[in-house]
Structure 1
């Protein structure tokens, strides 16, 4: 897996963000098991509860295309001075479709990324126990 390519795709995806309220653009690039990279951007709404994050946009698009196995996720936020990790809702969705060792890379405007896993970001996932039964 080439992290530079994944981050480049996440960076491009951030350009498609619709974020007129927060001015906080986010792009995500999801590497599927077959090698395809599917991107997503955050899409805001006046009613913030209806906003969809970049990570979920990418995952939902992949699932809608029949993709069910994923290798890695890169997230880029060009409007932050720090690496931006997935929010709680995104962590929940990511954990639904990946194993605990699933790699997640995230960055801010300096493009230095932080590397983690969904298990580190979302520990004690009850689904892990159900999957093991």
Structure 2
């Protein structure tokens, strides 16, 4: 099964009673295993979670920590971009060359690298002086 197929399939399980905006994500880890996630809303909106975050959590729960590729899909007019928080989460587990494909249920796709998705990424290297002090 392709990552797009996995993201499309899991998207149907999204819990979105408020927005009705279902998002699915699928990650292929460096190990080759595939992990999926969906967005989960909460009546207290800031407490919801994104599909990308869910897939990353599933990956970590299984003991994998490196993303080789990720696909995100939603029913939107244009390929759905990852939110800022998810961009940072993806960058935590993926190198700058890793491909991120954003897709729509109508078949449009846009693929970028993590470096293109999040230029100027904040990394642990930015805290090096604090760690040394």
Tell me if structure 2 keeps the 8 A contact 1:104–1:117.
yes
Deviation of the 1:101 alpha carbon: 1.2
1:28 equivalent among 25, 28, 32: 25
1:73 equivalent among 47, 53, 70: 70
1:104 equivalent among 85, 100, 105: 100
Structure 1 runs of 4+ aligned residues shifted over 4 Å read: none
Matches within 5 A, 1:9-48: 9-48=6-45
Paired position in structure 1 for 2:112? 116
Paired residues, number = 128
Instruction: Map Cα deviations across residues 16-46 of structure 1 (whole Å, 9 max, x no partner).
Output: 1000101100000000112111000000000
Residues of 2 paired with 1:125 and 1:47: CA distance? 29
Tell me if structure 2 keeps the 8 A contact 1:71–1:103.
yes
Residues of 1 paired with 2:122 and 2:84: CA distance? 15
Residues of 1 paired with 2:53 and 2:79: CA distance? 18
Which structure has the larger Rg over C-alpha atoms? 2
Instruction: Map Cα deviations across residues 43-70 of structure 1 (whole Å, 9 max, x no partner).
Output: 0000111110000000011011110122
| Uncovered stretches (5+) of structure 2, i.e. residues with no partner | 127-133
Instruction: Map Cα deviations across residues 56-112 of structure 1 (whole Å, 9 max, x no partner).
Output: 0000110111101221000010x2121001111100111111111111001112122
